[in-house]
């Protein structure tokens, strides 16, 4: 063989190897690519190596250099194929070795989780779910609940009116009346829902928020049932060691009225303190009568709580607005 043929053959082999690797999809496995490359080059490379000895002595140095350049360029072509496999470009981008991209999974809002959990506890205690409209009449929201006609809660600056007689309910208590109208006792319901007030949005208030109403009506129901049920709820929700207490309170639709407090640490460095988590009481006879039941035959108890505040007391959160900020870093701490 003469030197010019030798150089041309070496150059052709390098070109063929590059062309083969260029043709392969970047998705081709590296061992498959190597196999094809070897099938193409092995005989021709061995022949070129053997041919070195057949060249005139003066040409061997140049041919040897060309042979080494050929081997390097085949290796470089293979390396660059492997790189293309990992990095890829455009539509060919594929890397079989890269860990899968995590898909973003949403989760329930902490207030929703608390509502679900409370509903589940009360379901075990025999309660079912009842719902009522968010746009209510004055009568269901106030009148039937024993608010006197001139009660300050009905003022324009406290309640969002939609019209003459229609308003956005300020609490879920109207569901008590609607439930007593529709179903005969015994009644045990839990009514979660959105309520609205002309409140400022501050650390402890929101103008629209969730409430959870509870109602139990039957013959011979007493304050003992109220206290036992709510204390049992607190035991299950907060754990048996958390202290709760009842104290007197006033709401026009209950008599007597009470509140339940729970001892919590809100995480603000002030340590344990009593926080009111719900209002409750024996349903006022006027409310039972307004709903069309006989208050001589039936008695019952009710409660109302704000799940966002419950969530605050549960998790030691001291600003209610964090539940509305939609800051995923905050919310995902509660994800299950």
Binding site for ligand DAH (CB under 6 A): 171, 173, 213, 251, 254, 279-281, 302-304
- Given a contact cutoff of 8 angstroms between Cβ atoms, the answer to whether 302 and 324 are in contact is no
- Given a contact cutoff of 8 angstroms between Cβ atoms, the answer to whether 48 and 13 are in contact is yes
The total of other beta-carbon atoms located within 10 Å of residue 285's CB is 16
Smallest gap, in angstroms, from Cβ of residue 141 to ligand DAH?
A: 10
Q: Provide the 3-class DSSP secondary structure of residue 8.
A: helix
Label residue 146 left, alpha or beta by phi (over 0 means left) and psi (-120 to 50 means alpha): left
- Cα–Cα distance measured from residue 171 to residue 184, given in angstroms and rounded to the nearest whole number: 23
Smallest gap, in angstroms, from Cβ of residue 312 to ligand DAH?
A: 16
- Cα–Cα distance measured from residue 136 to residue 19, given in angstroms and rounded to the nearest whole number: 77
Nearest residue to ligand DAH on Cβ basis: 304
In terms of CB distance, is 185 or 279 closer to ligand DAH? Answer: 279
- Cα–Cα distance measured from residue 130 to residue 214, given in angstroms and rounded to the nearest whole number: 9
Residues paired with 254 in a beta bridge: 283
In terms of CB distance, is 45 or 280 closer to ligand DAH? Answer: 280
In terms of CB distance, is 110 or 304 closer to ligand DAH? Answer: 304
* Range list of H helices, the chain: 3-23, 30-52, 57-87, 110-124, 138-141, 174-182, 223-238, 285-290, 307-315, 328-331
In terms of CB distance, is 111 or 254 closer to ligand DAH? Answer: 254
In terms of CB distance, is 173 or 229 closer to ligand DAH? Answer: 173
- Cα–Cα distance measured from residue 192 to residue 254, given in angstroms and rounded to the nearest whole number: 19
In terms of CB distance, is 158 or 332 closer to ligand DAH? Answer: 158
Smallest gap, in angstroms, from Cβ of residue 216 to ligand DAH?
A: 11
In terms of CB distance, is 110 or 306 closer to ligand DAH? Answer: 306
Structure tokens at 47: 């022949």
- What's CA 186's distance to the chain center, in Å? 36
């Amino acid at each position: 063989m003469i030197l010019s043929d030798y150089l041309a053959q070496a150059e052709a082999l390098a070109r063929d190897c590059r062309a083969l690797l260029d043709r392969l999809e970047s998705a081709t496995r590296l061992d498959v690519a190597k196999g094809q490359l070897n099938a193409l080059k092995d005989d021709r490379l061995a022949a070129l190596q053997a041919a070195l000895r057949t060249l005139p002595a003066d040409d061997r140095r140049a041919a040897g250099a060309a042979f080494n350049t050929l081997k390097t360029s085949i290796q470089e072509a293979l390396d660059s194929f492997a790189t293309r496999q990992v990095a890829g470009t455009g539509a060919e981008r594929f890397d079989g070795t890269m860990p899968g991209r995590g898909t973003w999974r949403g989760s329930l809002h902490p207030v929703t989780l608390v509502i679900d959990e409370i509903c589940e506890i009360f379901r075990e205690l025999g309660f079912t779910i009842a719902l009522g409209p968010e746009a209510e009449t004055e009568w269901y929201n106030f009148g039937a609940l024993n608010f006197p006609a001139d009660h300050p809660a009905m003022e324009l600056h406290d309640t969002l009116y939609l019209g003459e007689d229609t308003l956005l309910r300020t609490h879920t208590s109207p569901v008590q009346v609607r439930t007593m109208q529709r179903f005969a006792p015994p009644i045990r319901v839990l009514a979660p829902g959105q309520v609205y007030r002309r409140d400022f949005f501050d650390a402890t208030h929101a103008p629209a928020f969730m409430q959870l109403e509870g109602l139990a009506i039957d013959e011979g129901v007493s304050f003992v049932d109220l206290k036992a049920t709510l204390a049992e709820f607190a035991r299950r929700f907060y754990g048996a060691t958390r202290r709760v207490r009842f104290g007197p309170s006033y709401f026009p639709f209950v008599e007597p009225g009470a509140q339940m407090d729970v001892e919590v640490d809100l995480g603000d460095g002030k340590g344990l303190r009593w926080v009111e988590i719900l209002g409750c009481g024996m349903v006022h006879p006027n409310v039972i009568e307004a709903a069309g039941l006989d208050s001589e035959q039936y008695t019952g108890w009710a409660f109302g709580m704000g799940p966002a505040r419950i969530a605050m007391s549960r998790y030691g959160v001291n600003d209610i607005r964090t539940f509305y900020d939609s800051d995923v870093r905050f919310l995902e701490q509660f994800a299950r």
